[in-house]
Amino acid sequence: MSDIVKILPIEVSNKIAAGEVVQRPSSVLKELLENSIDANSTKIKVIIKNAGKNLIQVIDDGDGMSIKDMHSSFIKHATSKINSIDDVFSISSMGFRGEALAAISSVSMVEMSSSKVLENDGYFIEINGGKIIKEKESNFDKGTSIKVKNIFFNVPARRNFLKSDFVELRHIMNVFHNIAVSHNEIEFSFINNDEEIFYLKKESLKKRIISIFGEKIREHLIPIKENTQIANLNGYVLKPEYAKKSRSNQFIFVNNRSIKSQFINHSISSSFDGLLREGYFPGYFLFINMNPLKIDVNVHPNKTEIKFDDDQSLYSIINSSVKHCLGIYQISPVLDFEKDQSMDISYTQINENPKIPTIEVDSEFNPFKIFNEESFIKKDSDIALSNNPSDIIQDNNKSSKIFQIFNKYIVSTSTSSLIIINQNLAHQRILYEGFLKSIFESSSESQKLVFPIEIMLTKPQLILFKKIITEFDSMGFVYKLSDSLLTIISVPVQLENNSIEELIDDILDDENDFDKSKNLSYSDFFAKKLSKCSAIKTGKNLNSDEQEFLVNQLFSCKEPNLSPDNKQIFITLNKNDIENRF
Ligand code: ADP
Ligand code: MG
């Protein structure tokens, strides 16, 4: 038999390896920015087109490269930053693996201009899929410009795998936020589709955070500072009121490198115990400085994971420091031994008015009449699962009972079965179909707010808002937008009783739900989000009219079985199911 094991050609192995470093446009931006920082730049300009799918360009005023270095920078494992393996463990630069430019240039079209001196003494190189196709002298001033065009043009499977512009831009923004927050000594500008989104001059960390996230974050920043033998902590945690439903405000930096760490997230979150509503995540900008010999950055090519020598001690240091700074600002509950423990109210109930316990007696209730008698004498063949809406509605009008259990489910009967409906999911479905209808027919009804609501949008929120503006209009929102101040004047009637500010924040903050590759349109995203936010919640007591209304509306829906997120809305128990239980 002939031999079959062969060594892959370099272009193929490079493309495969590139997948680890370059997952999406935002990973390219991260690597280019890190290179500019390592080159001692003081000004960096970022230019993005079509969420980075067509262009990611980074221009810096850093050290620049010689012609020879420009050539070698695209070769795998070519780096100016380390000489031996020992250097990896005391690394202070952002890069060291020498694989980013090689990876990027093997899966895109790259144009690089660079110069080490001020006087128009630059050089230009163009590379397509890893091969130099053009080079010449250029009049580029000191620094480097790298244009990365048409990412994954030669790996169609990967290009198709890219998410919608909405999602990719979110990732790009996230990378930019991380780098800009941790390098407040550098001036940045960020241009997206020819519009300047950020111009950040050199400024203090606090000012940098405010410039990026908007004025409204200022009053929520609580400084954290702790020096210990193991690590020095610095930065800000955000007051519990500023907690979000996503983790988008969680920033951790170790020796100024942005990292992801579940155990650090956990350590901080547990300091917030009892201060946050369920489903909300605290926000923080935590800078940990420690001896580089005590950490290992070389865990994964994207360098966002770190191994710590002593993670248990670090866990407790962070946990107690965050508690301490929340305590100083008198946010965490103060221990009071005099206080009667039984008077403690959980955070979720703190803002609710006490309810007077009620006893409801239904004088009509006859436990033997839940099923109408007919159903007991029906033939087995009739006792099939009944999902037929008309069957249920008709039956409601006759003698079936509808009642609520556990403040969560509505129980109803059809001629042949018992139906248990999840009230929250049912209402989501009803609202979802209603919202979609209003969007497509532009037929929504608006309710004017007594007091218009003003919301300061952050820059990224503004970009996203502009994308969904048509849907927003057709849903029945009436608003004014001047610069980044959004004033909501009227809202769709279905949303009347909701916290609109929270809702908008939620819509413009969600990075996961909207995904074109799953055939979702903005309308669908919007309708889903709104119906989720405004549906009747689990735990809400409903009166009998509301229960009946919900059941009837559900079964008039086009698709009463599944919630907008494809969860089962109700279950049916027929006679057999019940008998089998005995
Ligand atoms: P690494 O950053 O791990 O060294 P890269 O592939 O990202 O590897 O870059 C390769 C080399 O190219 C760097 O070591 C550096 O010498 C040079 N280089 C890349 N970008 C720049 C830049 N913007 N300014 C100056 N030199 C750069
Ligand atoms: Mg690099």
Q: Which atom of ligand 1 is nearest to the CA of 101?
A: 6
CA of 80 to the centre of ligand 1 (A): 7
**414 and 533 share a domain?**
yes
Residues 435 and 559 in one domain: yes
Residue nearest to atom 1 of ligand 1 (CA): 98
581 domain residue, yes or no: no
The ligand placed nearest to the CA atom of residue 75 is: 1
Closest Cα partner for 103 from 69, 134, 78, 133? 78
pLDDT on residue 472:
83
Q: Are residues 76 and 224 in the same domain?
A: no
Domain total for the chain? 3
- Please state whether beta strands 43-49 and 187-192 pair in parallel, antiparallel, or not at all (unpaired): parallel
Residue nearest to atom 12 of ligand 1 (CA): 73
Residue 64 Cα: closest atom of ligand 1: 25
**Nearest residue (CA) to ligand 1, atom 27:** 35
Final residue before a domain boundary, out of 140, 172, 202: 202
Q: How far, in Å, is the centroid of ligand 2 from the Cα of 83?
A: 15
Q: Is the CB of 490 under 6 A from ligand 1?
A: no
> What is each CA distance from 544 to 405, 412, 427, 510, 551, in whole angstroms?
12, 12, 15, 35, 11
pLDDT of residue 296: 87
Residue 250's nearest CA partner among 215, 219, 286 is 286
Report the residue among 35, 71, 93, 302 best suited for mutation to probe ligand 1: largest number of ligand atoms under 8 A from its CB.
35
Domain for residue 361, yes or no? Answer: no
Q: Does 370 fall in a domain? A: no
pLDDT of residue 577: 87
Q: Any alpha helices (H) in 442-574, and if so which ranges?
A: 459-467, 469-475, 500-507, 522-534, 544-554
Among candidates 219, 218, 299, 213, which has minimal Cα distance to 254? 299
Same domain, 273 and 325: yes
Q: Rounded to 5 degrees, what are φ and ψ at 339?
A: -75, 140
Tell me what pLDDT residue 378 has: 35
> What is the number of H-type helices and E-type strands within the chain?
19, 22
Contact 248, 508 (CB under 8 A): no
Question: Is 582 inside any structural domain?
Answer: no
423 and 519: one domain? Answer: yes
CA of 160 to the centre of ligand 1 (A): 29
**413 forms bridges with which residues in the sheet?**
418
Q: What is the CATH number of the domain that holds 100?
A: 3.30.565.10
- Residue 5 lies inside a defined structural domain of this protein: no
Q: How far is the CA of 100 from the centre of ligand 1 (A)?
A: 8
Q: Give burial (CB, 10 Å; 0-12/13-18/19+) of 315.
A: middle
C-beta of 301 in contact with ligand 1 (< 6 A): no
The residue whose CA has the least distance to atom 7 of ligand 1 is 100
> What's residue 353's pLDDT?
55
Residues 216, 193, single domain; the answer is no
- Here the CATH number for the domain that contains residue 238 is 3.30.230.10
Which residues are CB-contacts of 42 (< 8 A; sequence separation ≥ 6)?
A: 61, 185, 186, 187, 202
What pLDDT was estimated at residue 110? 97
| DSSP, res 8 | P
Tell me if 452 CB under 6 Å of ligand 1.
no
Ligand 1 neighbourhood includes 552 CB (under 6 angstroms): no
Distance CA 98, CA 73 (A): 8
Same domain, 435 and 566: yes
Is 127 domain-assigned?
yes
Task: Measure the CA angle with vertex 377, ends 374 and 380; round to 5°.
Answer: 115
Q: Mark whether 475 and 536 lie in a shared domain.
A: yes
- Pair 386, 329 in one domain: no
* Same-domain check for residues 219 and 242: yes
Q: Which of 154, 178, 202 is the last residue of a domain?
A: 202
Q: Tokens 């695209």 — which residue?
A: 74
User: Does the C-beta of 79 come closer than 6 Å to ligand 1?
Assistant: yes
Q: Which domain holds residue 241?
A: 211-334
Based on the domain organization, do 163 and 249 belong to the same domain? no
For residue 342, tell me if it sits in a domain. Answer: no
Is 80 found in the same domain as 14?
Answer: yes
**Is residue 406 situated within a structural domain?**
yes
121 CA from centroid of ligand 2 (Å): 24
Q: Which of 20, 36, 38, 75 to mutate to test the pocket of ligand 1 (most atoms within 8 A of CB)?
A: 38
Total-model pTM: 0.72
Nearest CA to ligand 1 atom 8: 98
Asked whether 37 lines ligand 1 (CB < 6 A), one says no
- Map tokens 């463990």 to a residue: 89
Ligand 1 atom at minimum distance from 60 CA: 23
Q: Is the CB of 503 under 6 A from ligand 1?
A: no
Angstrom distance (rounded) from CA 162 to CA 170: 13
C-beta separation of 572 from 419 below 8 A: yes
Q: How far is the centre of ligand 2, averaged over its atoms, from the C-alpha of 518 (Å)?
A: 33
The CATH number linked to 479 is 3.30.1370.100
How far away, in angstroms, is 37 Cα from ligand 1 center?
10
Show pLDDT as tens, one digit a residue, over the chain (582 residues).
578 787 777 777 777 766 678 889 999 999 999 999 999 999 999 999 999 999 999 999 999 999 999 999 988 777 777 777 676 666 677 877 788 999 999 999 999 999 998 777 899 999 998 889 999 999 888 999 999 999 999 988 888 888 888 889 989 999 999 999 999 999 999 999 999 999 999 999 999 999 999 888 999 999 999 999 999 999 999 999 889 888 889 999 999 999 999 999 999 999 998 888 888 899 999 999 999 889 888 777 777 888 899 999 999 999 999 999 888 776 654 444 443 444 444 444 444 455 555 555 555 555 444 444 333 333 333 333 344 444 444 444 444 589 999 999 999 887 788 899 999 999 999 999 988 888 777 777 888 888 888 888 888 788 878 878 888 888 888 999 988 899 999 988 877 666 788 888 777 765 544 554 444 567 787 788 888 888 888 888 999 889 999 999 999 888 899 999 889 999 999 888 888 888
Which of 180, 202, 224 terminates a domain? The answer is: 202
Over residues 267-277, the pLDDT tens digits come to: 999 999 888 88
